[in-house]
A and B are shown apart, each in its own frame.
Chain A
C-alpha cells in the first residue's frame, strides 16, 4: 500500500500519519468531548486520463462534506450528524459518531484546476485528471 505512486501518495496510519494534521476541534457548543476521527476506506484507480479516487463515506452529504486542496494536499473532511432521532437511545454502536478525515499528497502530474467530485449514496468519487504535460502528447512535425 505504501508503494510509491507517481501521482498520488496516501499517508499511512489511522490518522493519516502525514504532515497535515486534522483541523483542531473548534470549541464545540455541545461540550468539550472530542469527536473521534474516522479514516474512511478508499480505492484508487489509474486510468489513461487520470486517477479516480473513491471513498466510502456513509452518512456524508453535500452539505457536511468538505474537499479541500491546499498546496499539494487534498483532504476530505465530513462531520456526521449523530442520532437518527432526538429522543433515540443508543443500544449498540459500531460506527462511532465522529468526523471523517483523510488526506492525500498529489504530485504535479495532477491538474489541480480540473479536479471534480461527486457524492452518491455515501460514496464519494473524485476525479484527478492528468495535467497536460504529464499526458502523452504527439508532437507535430512542421514541414
Chain B
C-alpha cells in the first residue's frame, strides 16, 4: 500500500492495487507472503501484460517482456493455468545516476488461466522484439476437421 502504482497501463496499476487491497483484507496476519510459496526475493514480482488470441488450431499467449532473455523465462502449466515467470535484469549503465525511472525490473510472474483444452506437449514459445509468444496447439482430436465427401 505504501508503493505507488507504476504499471505500464493505468488498468494494470489499478488491478495491482486492487489485488493488494484484497490480499491485505483477506490475510490478517501472515504478512506479505500470501501469493506464492517460493518467492526468491522479498520484492513482489510484477505482472507483465498479456494478450490471448485463439485461432482454429491453437491458443496464442503474448506477453510483453522487453529486454528479457527468452532463455531465462520459465513457462509451466498446471491444472489449466499457464505460469510465466522470470527475472528482468536491470540494463542501464551501471554507475551513472538514474534521473527518471519508470521501467520495471526484477522478478516477474504471470498466471494465465487456459479456457480451452490445449496440448501442452506440443507447446512452443518464441520471443521477438520484446514480445514472448507461447503457442499452445489444440489437441489433435479437438481441431476442426474437414470431412471429405466421397462421390457416390
Chain A bound to chain B: yes
Q: Which residues of A contact B (CB under 8 A)?
A: 1, 5, 8, 10, 14, 38, 40-48, 51-52, 54, 56-61, 83-85, 87-96, 120-123
B103 touches A41 (CB 8 A): yes
Give the nearest-CB partner of A56 in chain B. Answer: B66
Give the nearest-CB partner of B10 in chain A. Answer: A14
Task: Tell whether A123 pairs with B102 under 8 Å between CB atoms, given A54-B92, A95-B49.
Answer: no
A87 touches B55 (CB 8 A): yes
Tell which of A87, A88, A94 has the most Cβ of chain B within 10 Å.
Answer: A94
Give the nearest-CB partner of A8 in chain B. Answer: B99
B66 touches A5 (CB 8 A): no
A58 — which chain B residues lie within 8 A by C-beta?
64-66, 129-131
Task: Tell whether A47 pairs with B66 under 8 Å between CB atoms, given A89-B53, A90-B52.
Answer: no
Q: How far is the CA of A58 from the CA of B88 in the complex (A)?
A: 14
Tell which of A1, A56, A61, A93 has the most Cβ of chain B within 10 Å.
Answer: A56
A88 touches B66 (CB 8 A): no
A93 — which chain B residues lie within 8 A by C-beta?
51-52
Task: Tell whether A94 pairs with B66 under 8 Å between CB atoms, given A56-B130, A88-B55, A122-B129.
Answer: no
A45 — which chain B residues lie within 8 A by C-beta?
92-93, 96-99
Q: Which residues of B contact A (CB under 8 A)?
A: 6, 8-12, 49-56, 59-60, 62, 64-69, 91-93, 95-104, 115, 127, 129-131, 133
Q: How far is the CA of A123 from the CA of B59 in the complex (A)?
A: 26
Known: A45-B96, A56-B64, A90-B53. 6 other contacts (CB 8 A): A1-B100, A10-B100, A45-B98, A91-B53, A94-B12, A122-B64
A43 touches B130 (CB 8 A): no
Contact residue among A84, A87, A96, A122 (Cβ-Cβ distance under 8 Å from B66): A122
Give the nearest-CB partner of B12 in chain A. Answer: A94
A41 touches B102 (CB 8 A): yes
Q: Nearest 3 CB-CB pairs, A to B?
A: A122-B130, A122-B66, A58-B130
A43 touches B102 (CB 8 A): yes
Q: How far is the CA of A14 from the CA of B46 in the complex (A)?
A: 21
